[in-house]
Amino acid sequence: MKALTIGLRGTGEQDLRDLARPVVKRLAAETDETVHFSLRDGDDIVVIAREDSTHAVRVFVEVGSRVPLRASSTGLAILAGLAPEEVDEVLRNPVDSFPEPIPSARELRAEIARTAERGYALNGSAWFRPHVTSLGAAVRNAAGRPFAGLTLAIPEMRFAAADEARLARLTMDAAEELSELISSA
């Protein structure tokens, strides 16, 4: 499945960005960390909106960046909401020309299971971006299918494990709010 997996009636990328903007801005303001809103496109996510932290040191991923599902917290959150055969299909497909190390299928399956149990993904500094911790939560369409996600991206030096539960709750609440907005649009 390589087509953009939005699954919304006539809602375009710009409409989604406009709908997501207040939620993304509020999550960034509540945490003072960078927030990304990304859409699933086949085996990847594409960042379509970003709100930056006000800190001098912050995580930066360009709008328009394409990242494999298996390399990001948003991707893991999306994978955790898919049927096992869909996950198998994604993990079977090779990842071409991605500069960062990607965990093995066995490691990914274990992390997908942990993500499904927690309700959010936690991507430590060993994946995708060195020295970055990110929390990801899936955004679902009216049918309950994950098609997008929010990422809260935090420089490792500022991430405290004691804050994980609070930050995860804020991220999941924002993703749920966005899911409801999209479902009612």
Lowest mean pLDDT of 14-18, 120-124, 167-171, 176-180, name the range.
Answer: 14-18
Task: Over range 76-100, report the average pLDDT.
Answer: 89
**Can you tell me the distance from the alpha carbon of 86 to that of 82, in angstroms, rounded to the nearest whole number?**
6
**Can you tell me the distance from the alpha carbon of 176 to that of 99, in angstroms, rounded to the nearest whole number?**
32
For 23-57, what is each residue's pLDDT tens digit? 999 999 999 999 999 999 999 999 999 999 888 77
**Can you tell me the distance from the alpha carbon of 166 to that of 11, in angstroms, rounded to the nearest whole number?**
32
pLDDT confidence band for 104 (50 / 70 / 90): confident
- Report the share of the chain in percent with pLDDT over 70: 88
**Can you tell me the distance from the alpha carbon of 117 to that of 111, in angstroms, rounded to the nearest whole number?**
10
- Report the share of the chain in percent with pLDDT over 90: 60
Task: Over range 47-68, report the average pLDDT.
Answer: 85
For 156-173, what is each residue's pLDDT tens digit? 889 999 999 999 999 999
- Beta-strand pair 132-140/44-51: unpaired
Does residue 8 have a pLDDT over 60?
A: no
152, 35 contact by CB (below 8 A): yes
Look over the chain and give the mean of its residue pLDDT values, rounded to a whole number. Answer: 86
For 106-139, what is each residue's pLDDT tens digit? 989 999 999 999 999 998 645 666 678 899 999 9
Q: How many residues appear in the chain? A: 185
Task: Please give the single-letter amino acid code of residue 38.
Answer: S
Terminal CA-CA length for the chain: 25
**Can you tell me the distance from the alpha carbon of 90 to that of 68, in angstroms, rounded to the nearest whole number?**
10
For 119-128, what is each residue's pLDDT tens digit? 999 986 456 6
